[in-house]
């Protein structure tokens, strides 16, 4: 096992320090997003890109249509209603069990210091890995033309590490606090304005090696289509607030095409 220090820039980001964690928590709270550029050491990014390129042939590629709420259509609303508007997304994905056993990604994901830092920043006591062998660490590939269309996440927060940017496109765009899921406020007018390009989203400038924490349940977001022949490669690290929980079978079939 490698040391976390050799993988992550702990001088710039003292993640074991409680005060640093509190600063990050406050940024995530006020901005809805926290970016830590240069979180991964330069040589680590290179190694992880090489590793991902080798695994890409084993990725599960899917194209799906979905609404922005990631729910089935509602027949009591018209087909043209923004709730029922269908968008297209496509990507390739490799799962935790396909990440080589000696990979830096396992070290970061399992490091107690890292886990405690993420827990503190997202306001949980403790975080746990998924009980199934697929869902904890995923590597996403978006080749030319592939995109992740507008959506709200089901999960409270997402943790990503960009490994490789495409030559153009592949931009993370978002509209902060566009709905309030807790109050069942779907804000159809606001969503429609963004889809029809009448309201401008914000966007993140993310370089490879950046750690991004994003609260996507109420902030609608997308990744624009990749342009050019360099694949966008992104790691998603996923945790639970309770131990022993697997991702649902239907979600595993949709994302990975298998259960285990």
Ligand X SMILES: O=C(O)CCC(=O)C(=O)O
Contact footprint for ligand X (CB under 6 A): 140, 148, 153, 158, 160, 172, 216, 221, 223, 234, 236
What does 172 interact with, of ligand X, Fe ion, none (CB < 5 to 8 A by kind)?
A: ligand X
- In whole angstroms, the minimum distance from the beta carbon of 251 to ligand X comes to 12
**Residue carrying structure tokens 């495409």:** 166
Measured from the CB atom, is 21 or 216 closer to ligand X? Answer: 216
Partners of 137 in the β-ladder: 237
Closest by CA to 243, choosing from 139, 154, 155, 127, is: 127
Q: Show the site string, 90-129: x = touches Fe ion by CB under 5 A, - = not.
A: ----------------------------------------
Q: Residue 258 corresponds to which tokens in the numbers above?
A: 């298998």
Q: How far apart are CA 50 and CA 100, in angstroms?
A: 12
Sign of CA dihedral 92, 97, 102, 106: positive
Selected range binding Fe ion among 170-178, 186-194, 216-224, 244-252, rule: CB under 5 A: 216-224
Distances (CA, A) of 159 to 13, 81, 113, 137: 16, 32, 15, 10
Q: Does 153 bind Fe ion (CB under 5 A)?
A: yes
Q: Does 216 bind Fe ion (CB under 5 A)?
A: yes
What does 234 interact with, of ligand X, Fe ion, none (CB < 5 to 8 A by kind)?
A: ligand X
Measured from the CB atom, is 52 or 234 closer to ligand X? Answer: 234
Q: Residue 213 corresponds to which tokens in the numbers above?
A: 């924490």
Measured from the CB atom, is 22 or 156 closer to Fe ion? Answer: 156
Closest by CA to 242, choosing from 153, 155, 131, is: 131
Selected range binding Fe ion among 6-14, 38-46, 127-135, 212-220, rule: CB under 5 A: 212-220
Measured from the CB atom, is 4 or 28 closer to ligand X? Answer: 28
What does 53 interact with, of ligand X, Fe ion, none (CB < 5 to 8 A by kind)?
A: none
- In whole angstroms, the minimum distance from the beta carbon of 135 to Fe ion comes to 15
Beta strands in the chain (DSSP E): 33-36, 60-66, 87-94, 137-142, 148-151, 158-164, 168-169, 172-175, 202-204, 211-214, 220-223, 226-227, 232-237
Alpha-helical runs (H) found in the chain: 4-7, 18-31, 42-55, 104-110, 112-122, 188-195, 249-256
- In whole angstroms, the minimum distance from the beta carbon of 120 to ligand X comes to 22
- In whole angstroms, the minimum distance from the beta carbon of 67 to Fe ion comes to 14
Interface residues toward Fe ion, by CB under 5 A: 153, 216
């Amino acid at each position: 096992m490698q040391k976390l220090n050799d993988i992550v820039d702990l001088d710039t980001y003292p993640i074991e320090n409680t005060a640093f964690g509190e600063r990050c928590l406050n940024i995530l709270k006020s901005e809805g997003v926290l970016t830590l550029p240069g979180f991964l050491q330069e040589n680590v990014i290179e190694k992880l890109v090489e590793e991902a390129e080798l695994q890409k042939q084993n990725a599960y590629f899917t194209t799906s249509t979905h609404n922005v709420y990631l729910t089935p259509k509602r027949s009591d609303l018209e087909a043209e209603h923004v709730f029922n508007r269908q968008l297209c997304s496509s990507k390739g994905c490799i799962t935790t069990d396909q990440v080589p056993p000696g990979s830096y990604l396992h070290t970061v994901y399992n490091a107690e210091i890292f886990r405690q830092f993420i827990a503190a920043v997202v306001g949980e006591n403790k975080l746990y890995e998924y009980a199934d062998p697929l869902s904890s660490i995923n590597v996403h590939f978006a080749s030319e033309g592939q995109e992740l269309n507008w959506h709200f996440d089901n999960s409270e927060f997402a943790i990503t590490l960009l490994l490789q940017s495409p030559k153009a496109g592949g931009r993370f765009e978002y509209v902060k606090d566009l709905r309030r899921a807790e109050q069942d406020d779907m804000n159809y007018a606001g969503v429609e304005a963004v889809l029809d390009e009448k309201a401008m989203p914000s966007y993140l400038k993310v370089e490879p090696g950046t750690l991004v924490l994003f609260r996507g349940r109420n902030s609608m977001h997308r990744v624009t289509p990749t342009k050019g022949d360099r694949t966008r490669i992104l790691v998603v690290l996923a945790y639970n607030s309770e131990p022993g929980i697997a991702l649902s079978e239907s979600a595993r079939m949709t994302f990975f095409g298998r259960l285990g």
